[in-house]
Amino acid sequence: MQQTPKQLWAHKNSITEYQVWVSYRAATKQLNLFFDGREMDASCRKLQSCQHRKETLTHLLWECPGAQACWKYLISCWGRRRCDGQQLLRYTANCASRVPP
């Protein structure tokens, strides 16, 4: 589905209050990653390869292979070309430094 920039920006207010709240809590490192009934284990449960990695926001958003696959897919869609591991590393470094590529 192709959309023009005008069509994309027409949806600028479509983010919900809950999404704003979660984004704020994640950015300020206040998002509770645990929930009732979950065994108090701080390891990532997304993939077997992550089993002994601590479940932090950095891991969930950047380091987890599942997150990296998601970022590669999104970057490929945005840039309309395949994203490899090196491009992802550059992208994450730019995001962390808040400097455009």
List pLDDT tens digits, range 55-91: 777 888 888 888 888 888 888 887 777 888 888 888 7
Buried b (16+ CB within 10 A) or exposed e, 54-78: ebeeebbebebeebbeebbeebeee
Nearest alpha-carbon partner for 91 in 31, 4, 47, 67: 67
Entry pTM? 0.49
pLDDT number for residue 97: 75
pLDDT band at residue 45 under the 50/70/90 scheme: low
In percent, how much of the chain has pLDDT > 90? 0
* Mean pLDDT for the chain overall: 74
pLDDT number for residue 18: 78
pLDDT number for residue 65: 86
